[in-house]
Amino acid sequence: MNENIDKLIRDYAAGTLTGNALPEFELRLKNDPELQAELDLYLALKAADNQRLKRNLLQTAAADELTPIAPSGGVTRRLPLWLAAAASLALVLTAVWWWQYSTKPDAAQIVQTYISTPYPPPVTTMGDVDNRSEALQRAFLAYRNGDFNAAARQLSELATDAAATDETLFYAGEALLQTGQWEPAIAYFERVGPGYWREPANWRSALALLKSGRADRARPLLEKLRDSGRRAQVETLLEVIE
């Protein structure tokens, strides 16, 4: 990856990309699927690193709990051989059990990690020409500013129009997803037609389905995304919901 692009992605993910660089980068995201895939991969790897750190901390805690405590008062009693062996076996079994359950990825946490990074906002101005209505621009501005409640309300109203664009439908679903309204979000994602927005709609819809406990419906959508730029994230989710 180009070093400059790598820095832009890291700054954007950290929320430190400002000035003209921010809308320029978001416009590139919208028009460059490969750049979007690189951003998604970076976010997935970052989430995996956080999960790995958590596992390491849990393993350290388990090791600390299993460390033998020296008898107090300086009195040492010799245990019978069979009792010592049984105690050792119990410790080993406890360690194995702890390792299996403490290191097993939690699907809900992984899904929430992906959801908590909102889909990049649309570019509200494109040079001197923007064919979006004022109402839609206000809704997108609310989304960009992180006011997802206002964005969800405004975009939901605009999405009732039979002529609503796929972009409007997708962001209506995403704003609802950010406010924890899984069912309405899924409904809007499912209305997105074939084309550019269909793949991200499948991805975000799968996350909403998993949050609502419907892995059976999420799995086919994830299978469709196996060959997309979100492959790493998709494989992680498919593994933990098996």
Kindly report, residue by residue over 170-213, the tens digit of the pLDDT.
999 999 999 999 999 999 999 999 999 999 999 999 999 999 99
Is the distance from CB of 185 to CB of 177 less than 8 angstroms?
yes
Residue 98 lies in a domain: no
pLDDT (tens digit, 0 to 9) for every residue of the chain, 242 residues total?
566 888 888 888 877 877 788 878 888 887 887 788 788 777 777 766 665 665 665 666 555 555 554 544 544 444 455 444 555 555 545 444 444 444 445 778 889 989 999 999 887 544 445 678 999 999 999 999 999 999 999 999 999 998 999 999 999 999 999 999 999 999 999 999 999 999 999 999 999 999 999 999 999 999 999 988 888 889 999 998 87
Q: Whole domain around residue 151: which residue ranges?
A: 109-240
Token pair listed for 132: 């979006």
CA nearest 37: which of 3, 70, 1? 1
The domain spanning residue 127 has which CATH number? 1.25.40.10
Rounded distance, CA 67 to CA 44, Å?
A: 35
- Count: domains in the chain: 1
Residue 146 lies in a domain: yes
